[in-house]
């Protein structure tokens, strides 16, 4: 029996979707029920129904999970950034551990050894970067915040409890300055365009701040005066940049950045190294948790014994450089040439001659570098490994693989193929909570040659 729109159902939630929505079943039909947590029961009214699933709204809650608590942020119901804020820390850890286990079982058909989640020491105030969409209303007022869940509506905000407080304290005054400017502001980049996003990055250990305005054009009269004013008001701001993204699409950061005042980078002290981070640099948003993963990799890959490590999808060398500093001989492979340049600059900045970087497409050229490696690090995008990269790995003898993933589903898919025919043996999976208050979870999988 398929529920109809407006039907009232009594459902019990057993899981959460990746959007933080309660998942229940009614007569074997999946019912998505916002507002209910696992273990909670409620009366819901169906708003959408088809052969696959139903969507319902909560009419009356019948019981309360022991993990439920009051969200510390008043915007949590509207803002799509923190889907787990109504669950306490114990509940979030429990759900993430269960989620990874279920994905490995369901997608990968894997009976993996899953280690306990590495919890964060700072469930709030951990983000070292803010990327804030901007929109000027017809009244002239500025709306700046984060998107509402499953929409492009910007929830206006002045503070965010996930941001490093040194970033958080800058949001409101910068927002006020942008509002009083005469600049056009259009998040979509359509029509006459204008400002689209505000980016603020901080070196967690150094306190240095880089402010970047992202715009569809550079016709922003008075921008240099404003940038210099910001640097005078806030000594921790070492640079103000303008990034140009002229195309009306969902790409946030463009390819062209120029310095308006100060310099184009901050210095972050990461694993006892000095790293330059620019407006365009990808760097993990949770510095402390990223360091914990690197320390784990240094131990697992025997870096101190001079092992030869191949770091595929190396980015700016976040993993490569600390491994080289620990004693490993590291070769990083990366498709984005700008990232390779930044990695090389950071190696020179730290006098690391044992880390080399090449601009190559991993999906095409990985096999050329595998045979001379003791270990392979994989840190691909969310979509996981390209099929050709998987084939090259499977066809080449390799003692050890460390696969770091921000998407348990694509990780499970790839692990299933890597362990097929017992080519590699999955030793363990280590989940890490990089993103408290959200459903996202990072995983490190270690495989050894069978």
Spatial distance between the Cα atoms of 94 and 76, rounded to a whole number of angstroms: 21
Q: What is the pLDDT of residue 169?
A: 98
Spatial distance between the Cα atoms of 214 and 251, rounded to a whole number of angstroms: 11
Spatial distance between the Cα atoms of 239 and 73, rounded to a whole number of angstroms: 30
Could you count the other beta carbons within 10 Å of the beta carbon of residue 8?
12
Query: 118 and 138: one domain?
Result: no
Query: 167 and 242: one domain?
Result: yes
Instruction: Average the pLDDT over 399-407 and give the result.
Output: 97
CA dihedral 159, 165, 166, 172 (to 10 degrees): 10
Select from 406, 403, 418 the least CA-distant residue to 96: 406
Query: 26 and 113: one domain?
Result: no
pLDDT confidence band for 293 (50 / 70 / 90): very high
% of the chain residues with pLDDT over 90:
88
Instruction: Average the pLDDT over 98-116 and give the result.
Output: 96
Structural domain that includes position 389: 93-122+286-449
Q: What is the pLDDT of residue 78?
A: 87
Sheet holding 400-405, edge to edge: 355-359, 329-334, 308-312, 375-378, 400-405, 442-449, 424-432
| 48 φ/ψ sector (left φ>0, alpha ψ -120 to 50, else beta) | beta
Q: What is the pLDDT of residue 34?
A: 95
Select from 125, 127, 132 the least CA-distant residue to 147: 132
Global confidence as pTM: 0.94
The answer to whether 280 is a known ligand-binding residue is no
Identify whether 54 is a catalytic site residue: no
Spatial distance between the Cα atoms of 425 and 99, rounded to a whole number of angstroms: 22
Does residue 191 register a pLDDT over 80? Answer: no
Q: What is the pLDDT of residue 15?
A: 97
Query: 112 and 136: one domain?
Result: no
Could you count the other beta carbons within 10 Å of the beta carbon of residue 156?
17
The answer to whether 379 is a known ligand-binding residue is yes
Number of domains present in the structure of the chain: 3
Instruction: Average the pLDDT over 373-399 and give the result.
Output: 95
Catalytic residue among 54, 79, 160, 406: 406
The answer to whether 403 is a known ligand-binding residue is no
CATH number, position 153: 2.40.50.1070
pLDDT confidence band for 258 (50 / 70 / 90): very high
The answer to whether the beta carbons of residues 4 and 46 sit under 8 Å apart is yes
Among the candidates 210, 236, 270, a domain finishes at: 270
Query: 233 and 181: one domain?
Result: yes
Among the candidates 207, 242, 270, a domain finishes at: 270
Among the candidates 270, 302, 326, a domain finishes at: 270
Does residue 404 register a pLDDT over 80? Answer: yes
Query: 20 and 154: one domain?
Result: no
Query: Is residue 365 assigned to a domain?
Result: yes
The answer to whether 313 is a known ligand-binding residue is yes
Query: 236 and 348: one domain?
Result: no
The tens digit of pLDDT for each residue in 234-250 reads 999 999 999 999 998 88
**420: which DSSP letter?**
G
CATH number, position 30: 2.40.50.140
Query: Is residue 28 assigned to a domain?
Result: yes
Spatial distance between the Cα atoms of 360 and 333, rounded to a whole number of angstroms: 6
pLDDT confidence band for 306 (50 / 70 / 90): confident
Does residue 171 register a pLDDT over 90? Answer: yes
């Amino acid at each position: 029996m398929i529920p109809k729109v407006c039907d009232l159902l009594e459902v019990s939630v057993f899981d959460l979707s990746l959007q933080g929505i309660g998942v229940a079943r009614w007569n074997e039909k999946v019912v998505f029920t916002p507002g209910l947590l696992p273990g909670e029961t409620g009366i819901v009214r169906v708003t959408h129904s088809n052969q696959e699933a139903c969507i319902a709204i909560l009419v009356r809650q019948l019981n309360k999970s022991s993990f439920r608590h009051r969200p510390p942020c008043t915007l949590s119901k509207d803002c799509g950034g923190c889907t787990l804020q109504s669950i306490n820390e114990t509940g979030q850890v429990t759900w993430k551990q269960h989620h990874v286990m279920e994905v490995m079982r369901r997608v990968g058909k894997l009976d993996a050894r899953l280690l306990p989640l590495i919890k964060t020491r700072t469930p709030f105030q951990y983000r070292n970067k803010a990327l804030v969409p901007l929109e000027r209303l017809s009244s002239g007022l500025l709306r700046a915040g984060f998107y509402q869940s499953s929409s492009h509506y910007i929830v206006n905000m002045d503070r965010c409890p996930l941001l490093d407080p040194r970033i958080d304290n800058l949001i409101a005054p910068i927002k006020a300055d942008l509002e009083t400017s005469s600049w056009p502001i259009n998040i979509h980049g359509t029509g006459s365009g204008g400002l689209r996003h505000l980016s603020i990055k901080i070196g967690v250990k150094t306190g240095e701040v880089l402010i970047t305005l992202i715009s569809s054009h550079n016709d922003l009269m008075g921008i240099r005066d404003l940038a210099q004013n910001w640097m005078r008001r806030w000594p921790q701001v070492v640079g103000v940049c303008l990034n140009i993204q002229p195309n009306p699409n969902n790409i946030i950061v463009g390819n062209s950045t120029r310095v308006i005042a100060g310099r184009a980078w901050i210095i972050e002290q990461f694993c006892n190294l000095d790293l330059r981070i620019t407006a365009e640099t990808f760097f993990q948003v949770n510095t402390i948790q990223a360091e914990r993963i690197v320390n784990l990799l240094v131990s697992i890959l025997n870096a101190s014994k001079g092992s030869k490590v191949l770091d595929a999808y190396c980015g700016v060398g976040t993993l490569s450089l600390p491994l080289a500093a620990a004693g490993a001989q590291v070769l990083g492979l990366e498709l984005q040439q700008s990232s390779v340049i930044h990695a090389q600059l950071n190696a020179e900045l730290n006098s690391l001659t044992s880390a080399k970087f090449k601009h190559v497409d991993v999906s095409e050229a990985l096999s050329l570098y595998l045979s001379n490696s003791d270990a392979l690090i994989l840190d691909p995008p969310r979509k996981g490994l390209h099929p050709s990269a998987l084939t090259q790995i499977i066809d080449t003898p390799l003692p050890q693989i460390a696969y770091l993933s921000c998407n348990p589903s694509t990780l499970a898919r790839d692990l299933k193929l890597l362990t097929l025919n017992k080519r590699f043996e999955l030793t363990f999976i280590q989940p890490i909570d990089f993103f408290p208050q959200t459903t996202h979870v990072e995983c490190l999988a270690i495989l050894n040659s069978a």
